[in-house]
Structure 1
Amino acid sequence: MSEYSIQEFIQKTMNKEKQYDTFGLETDRILRVELDDLIWSKMGSMIAYEGDIRFEREGMLEHGANRMFKKAFTNEGNELMKAKGNGILYLSDQGKKITILDLLGDKITVNGDDVLAFEPSVDWDIHMMRKVAGMMSGGLFNIGLEGRGKVAITTHYEPLTLLVEPGKPVFTDPSATVAWSGHLEPKFKTDMNYRTFLGRGSGESIQMAFEGNGFVIVQPYFEGAK
């Protein structure tokens, strides 16, 4: 049913008074943040807020000169904004599904465009996949997040997590790969031949190869596909 009276629609879609940690899901595609200090989030992800909250663009030297040069070189991670104050903040990213991860001293590597928000206790840096430079036009740079605190990531539709075990490597399409456990170091497997250059290849000429012990998160969507 998609026909409602005004009151029925309000009751169905209004924010519910529930107990949340700092990060909570208002819906599968809207992150609710109980803000009492500050958080970092993707620039332009705020859709609403209640209370006294101020937004500041990430400063050029906010996270150090080394990281500033990495961002300038890679154009990765998008711009961050700092939300400061007290209140309730609602974040979203083009209707993508949101997953909240609670890092307990862990490390995870995430596609830069798929990081929605994280608490200031979480450290981050930009990583470059040097071994594949020149093979692909994009997808070479990712964000490493580690420490203790909440991280919200986004995926197109439902994510799938694949376990990587010793002797059982996992191969993924780079455009569908969202994140992986931080101690894994993916390699790139290529299957290029003359058919590829004639436009008659399978379309699966480059894959990411994960070996060791950990996990990989993929989505049923090819990021950057036309």
Structure 2
Amino acid sequence: MSTKREYTLSELILESAENPNENDFFELEKPSLLEVNMNNQKIMAKAGSMVAYIGNIDFKREGLLSKGLGGLLKKAISGEGTKLMHAAGTGKLYLADEGKKVKIIKLQNESIFVNGNDVLALEENIKNEIKMLKSVAGMMSGGLFQVKLSGSGYIAITTHGEPILLKVTANQPVYTDPNATVAWSEFLSPKIKTNLTFGSFIGRGSGESLQMEFSGEGWVLVQPFEEVKYLEKK
């Protein structure tokens, strides 16, 4: 016989309290909540992602990732996707992005490509570069701009729901919806594949008629959600 659950204040406090034993630089406090344990350190985070902090932490609004693209980026990327803030100081910083799942990755002299809107936080020394799929520039918003993150240190990315990682091999390319593609490994160079017949049959406009084709050796991370359609509704 199962014990009846009591929704008491004590139970809420017990279930929701942060774990004081966690002290890694980047910690997953909850599935959708990143805890950054700062000791006179600096990070860069998605603008507007701070939900709380404890201690002495200062914030400074930054421009865009890869500043040099300036106006081009402002027109091409929806919402707050690539706007950053600096956070510096000592204490605990809590970051989140509209309930999206948080994934922590520790790069070790490596690179990863991430959809611009899915970057949550990165150590200050991680290099970031905006990359654009020029062949279809202007045909779709946000999903065509990716950020190359390189170096050694922590990064945190976000996904709508639990993503799936698909392996890419020389004999098995992978095709994805650009709006559902979160990240991919550094040695893959995606191309845009157009399938107008399929898009017309489905009746979805520019969605399934444009696909990203990944070939070579590596992996692609895909979420069960189409990011740009969500951004356009906001």
Which segments of 5 or more consecutive residues in structure 2 lack a partner in the other structure?
none
1:220 and 1:2, CA in 2 relative to 1: closer, same or farther beyond 3 A? Answer: farther
Name which of structure 1's ranges 126-135 and 175-184 shifts more when overlaid on structure 2.
126-135
Q: Give percent identity, aligned residues only.
A: 47
Q: Tell me if 1:123 matches 2:127.
A: yes
1:74-85 paired onto structure 2 within 5 Å? 74-75=76-77, 77-85=81-89
Q: Tell me if 1:29 matches 2:32.
A: yes
Offset, 1:69: 5.3
CA distance in 1, matches of 2:199, 2:72: 36
Q: Tell me if 1:9 matches 2:12.
A: yes
Show CA shifts across 1:143-192 (max 9, x none). 11011010100000101000111121001111110010122110111111
The letter for the 2-side match of 1:23 is F
- Do the aligned residues in 1 keep the contact of 2:77 with 2:141 (CA within 8 Å)? no
- Tell me which residue corresponds to 1:71: 73
CA distance in 1, matches of 2:132, 2:58: 32
CA distance in 1, matches of 2:89, 2:204: 56
- Do the aligned residues in 2 keep the contact of 1:49 with 1:87 (CA within 8 Å)? yes
Show CA shifts across 1:21-49 (max 9, x none). 10000011100000121100000100010
Which segments of 5 or more consecutive residues in structure 1 lack a partner in the other structure?
none
1:131 and 1:92, CA in 2 relative to 1: closer, same or farther beyond 3 A? Answer: same
CA distance in 1, matches of 2:134, 2:194: 15
CA distance in 1, matches of 2:31, 2:203: 39
Q: Tell me if 1:208 matches 2:212.
A: yes
- Do the aligned residues in 2 keep the contact of 1:186 with 1:211 (CA within 8 Å)? yes
CA distance in 1, matches of 2:38, 2:94: 10
CA distance in 2, matches of 1:222, 1:213: 25
Runs of 4+ with >4 A deviation? 197-203
1:152-171 paired onto structure 2 within 5 Å? 152-171=156-175
Root-mean-square deviation (CA, aligned residues, Å) is 2.6
- Tell me which residue corresponds to 1:110: 114
CA distance in 2, matches of 1:216, 1:142: 13
The letter for the 2-side match of 1:209 is E
**1 or 2, which has the higher helix percentage?**
2
TM superposition score normalised by structure 2:
0.86
